Amino acid sequence: DDRYGAWLATRHLIQQGHTRIGYLCSNHSISDAEDRLQGYYDALAESGIAANDRLVTFGEPDESGGEQAMTELLGRGRNFTAVACYNDSMAAGAMGVLNDNGIDVPGEISLIGFDDVLVSRYVRPRLTTVRYPIVTMATQAAELALALADNRPLPEITNVFSPTLVRRHSVSTPSLEASHHATSD
């Protein structure tokens, strides 16, 4: 449930006190990109925060795309205190740009990813992210593959896997300085 996962990530930022939240989205025309972007918008709307399309940028769903999307977002003015990212790879690229520009994560800008891939544990600060139950998903996929290989009938069910929040160190409450940047630009 990609939409719920992005809602969960954005909602976590809102619960920390952020109201000016950017979003780095995949530029691929695939359902999970659309669902995650919609989850971001859903969380804002539920909290009474007006969506601002200037706070949404698009890039390839990798580190380079995250660098490009964050560079574009910063170029529009530093009028945000947090950024949710399409995935952890984009978040890692975004974190690199923030670090290169002397912007403290999470002191000045909080950052959250999606997928809980290996890089999220090794960037500094460690990335707060959203995780899917990968072991359960892999087990069910293997069982499905074996059933297909044996020509067994497949159950007519649809599985929707619910993601969970993984709290690490890239999200904090907005600082006074960060809030000032977000409202003065």
179 confidence band (pLDDT: 50, 70, 90): low
Q: Which residues have C-beta within 8 Å of that of residue 12, sequence separation ≥ 6?
A: 112, 128, 165, 167, 171
Q: Stretch 75-100: mean pLDDT, rounded?
A: 97
136 confidence band (pLDDT: 50, 70, 90): low
Superfamily of domain covering 2-132+163-184:
Response regulator (3.40.50.2300)
**116-126 per-position pLDDT tens digit:** 999 999 999 99
pLDDT of residue 181: 65
**7-26 per-position pLDDT tens digit:** 999 999 999 999 999 999 99
What is the rounded distance in angstroms from the CA atom of residue 14 to the CA atom of residue 17?
5
Q: Stretch 145-164: mean pLDDT, rounded?
A: 73
Q: Is the pLDDT of residue 4 over 90?
A: yes
Closest CA to 101 of 126, 128, 67: 67
In DSSP notation, 147-181 reads HHHTTPPPP-----PPPEEE--SS--PPPHHHHHH
pLDDT of residue 36: 97
The residue extents of the domains of the chain are 2-132+163-184
What is the rounded distance in angstroms from the CA atom of residue 185 to the CA atom of residue 180?
9
